[in-house]
Amino acid sequence: MKTLRSGVLLSIMCLMLFSSQKALANIARLEILPGNIKMKPNTSIQLAVVAYTHDGIMFSPERNIRWRVQRGRIREGSYFAPATPGRYNISIEWRGLRANAKVHVKQVVPPIKYIQISPGNIELKPRQQYQFKAIAYDNYRRPVSIPLEWSANGGKFGHRGLYYSPDRYGKYVVTVREPYSGVRAQAHVLIRRPAPQITRIQIFPADSVVKPGQSVKFVAKAYDSYNREMPIQANWRANGGRIDRHGVFYAGHQPGRYQIWASYRNYKASGWVLVKGYKKPHPTPGAGRIDILNFKPREGNAFEPKIKITIKVFGRSAQKVTLFLVLPNGRAKEVQTKYCGHRSEVKFRQRYNSLAGYRWADVWLYDNYGKVIAKERRALRR
């Protein structure tokens, strides 16, 4: 009996092995169940793999199944969704046959009312990086933390709104979109051609010749790296004569060669002007006169001593008068200078620290050429 039972069991096992091998040799296709999956982030679902023969027989292969997932992971037939919403693919391979399943990981969020993007308008340089920011709000104007999609019709986006501007000049539109509701916002980007940069300035004419008392106009021009002229408003300076803010040089009566400078920002240029002619004769020192009307060298008090002198000057070319204090060795200290004219009455009221050491008070009268035309001296002590 035992031998008979063992023989029957062996016959049944051989029949099953023969049927399984026959089914494996007749497989038509594989299928992942379910084939279309919708799930939330960070959740899991149990998947099943079913094989079909050409005769319609269905069975479940249990070993040597190769799984591939685009995002997430597979463990013992269970799919674990990633934290990032999106549409992903799951594929299997078994005995040369393949099957696929689609997964839609969908974030459950409240309805989005609008998206605020900042800044709304910006000017960038070519190939510049800039971080845009966007916040989505629901119907109650509450900010909602959800992934957003960024795009632009020029340039490209990196991670979370990091924008890389294109290398072409123009106007571009940046779009941020909430993928489920379709709500979007836009910003405008201007890639402006950089302004021409000044590389040098030049004075025209570079050299000029005038006579004493005449004038000549100088012009400062700026140029960029392409040698194109650019308008500027330069600052002018000269080491002789006089030059105004418009570049007009007025020659004095002193002949000589003078230098002109034009400056704009960090750029400078220079030119020359030759004042050519005869120098007008200066009046002789005796052409003026000083009358001292009042002389009080020790006025004021001990705390604020003053020297008070009242004079009257004469001279058609009188320009200014200066008061000096003179030491016994002849060295003089200028105390005060005042401008005057012919028949002017001038009053000196100057405070000083001390008269100790000074012996005389000198008054000198100058003409409009800086020449002394009269002198007067008074002793400080009697």
Distance of CA 318 to the CA centre of its chain: 57
The predicted structure's pLDDT at residue 145: 85
Q: How many domains does the chain have?
A: 4
Query: Considering the domain boundaries, does residue 353 fall inside one?
Result: yes
Identity of the amino acid at 182 = G
Report the CATH number at residue 335.
2.60.40.2550
- Domain's final residue, options 275, 305, 337: 275
3-state SS, residue 14: helix
Give the position of tokens 């009697």. Answer: 382
Give the position of tokens 């750029």. Answer: 267
Mean pLDDT calculated for residue range 138-143 = 89
Mean pLDDT calculated for residue range 305-322 = 88
pLDDT band at 301 (very low <50, low <70, confident <90, very high): low
pLDDT in tens, 340-378: 988 999 998 877 666 567 888 899 999 888 889 999 998
Separation of alpha carbons 163 and 114, rounded Å: 21
Mean pLDDT calculated for residue range 14-38 = 68
Identity of the amino acid at 277 = G
Nearest one of 276, 232, 284 to 258, comparing CA atoms: 276
The predicted structure's pLDDT at residue 321: 93
Q: Which residue has the higher pLDDT, 145 or 287?
A: 145
Does residue 301 sit in the same domain as residue 239? no
Contact 320, 340 (CB under 8 A): yes
The predicted structure's pLDDT at residue 110: 76
The predicted structure's pLDDT at residue 286: 52
pLDDT band at 95 (very low <50, low <70, confident <90, very high): confident
Does residue 291 sit in the same domain as residue 368? yes
Contact 245, 264 (CB under 8 A): no
Query: Considering the domain boundaries, does residue 9 fall inside one?
Result: no
Q: Which residue has the higher pLDDT, 161 or 61?
A: 161
The predicted structure's pLDDT at residue 123: 92
End-to-end, the C-alpha distance of the chain in Å comes to: 167
Does residue 180 sit in the same domain as residue 218? no
Residue 302 has pLDDT above 50, yes or no: yes
pLDDT band at 12 (very low <50, low <70, confident <90, very high): very low
Query: Considering the domain boundaries, does residue 7 fall inside one?
Result: no
Cis peptide before 212 (omega within 30 of 0): no
Query: Considering the domain boundaries, does residue 280 fall inside one?
Result: no
Residue 19 has pLDDT above 60, yes or no: no
Residue span of the structural domain in which 144 resides: 112-191
Separation of alpha carbons 106 and 143, rounded Å: 19
- Domain's final residue, options 275, 295, 325: 275
Report the CATH number at residue 226.
2.60.40.10
Does residue 290 sit in the same domain as residue 369? yes
pLDDT band at 231 (very low <50, low <70, confident <90, very high): confident
3-state SS, residue 3: helix
The predicted structure's pLDDT at residue 356: 65
For residue 37, the 8-state DSSP code is E
Does residue 186 sit in the same domain as residue 211? no
Separation of alpha carbons 94 and 310, rounded Å: 123
The predicted structure's pLDDT at residue 21: 54
Q: What does R_g of the chain's alpha carbons equal in angstroms? A: 51
For β-strands 256-264 and 66-69, DSSP reports them as unpaired
Mean pLDDT calculated for residue range 298-305 = 68
Q: Which residue has the higher pLDDT, 112 or 85?
A: 112
CA dist 136 to 108, 111, 178, 188, Å?
Answer: 14, 10, 8, 19
Which residue stretches of 282-330 are H helix? none
Does residue 100 sit in the same domain as residue 160? no
**pTM of this structure:** 0.36
Residue 9 has pLDDT above 50, yes or no: no
The alpha carbon torsion through 262, 267, 272, 273 (nearest 10 deg) reads -10
Identity of the amino acid at 204 = F
Residue 184 has pLDDT above 60, yes or no: yes
Does residue 25 sit in the same domain as residue 99? yes
Contact 44, 76 (CB under 8 A): no
Mean pLDDT calculated for residue range 224-240 = 89
The predicted structure's pLDDT at residue 192: 85
The predicted structure's pLDDT at residue 304: 67
Cis peptide before 119 (omega within 30 of 0): yes
Give the position of tokens 């050519």. Answer: 276
Does residue 123 sit in the same domain as residue 182? yes
- Domain's final residue, options 157, 191, 225: 191
Q: Return the half-sphere exposure (C-beta side, CA atoms, 13 A cut-off) of residue 195.
A: 3
Does residue 158 sit in the same domain as residue 223? no
The predicted structure's pLDDT at residue 61: 80
Contact 46, 35 (CB under 8 A): no
21 φ/ψ angles, rounded to the nearest 5 degrees: -65, -35
Residue 15 has pLDDT above 80, yes or no: no
Query: Considering the domain boundaries, does residue 83 fall inside one?
Result: yes
The predicted structure's pLDDT at residue 380: 80
Does residue 78 sit in the same domain as residue 131? no
Does residue 233 sit in the same domain as residue 269? yes
Residue 91 has pLDDT above 70, yes or no: yes
Please state, for a pLDDT cut of 90, what percent of the chain lies above it: 36
Query: Considering the domain boundaries, does residue 8 fall inside one?
Result: no
Mean pLDDT calculated for residue range 225-238 = 90
- For the chain, give the number of residues: 382
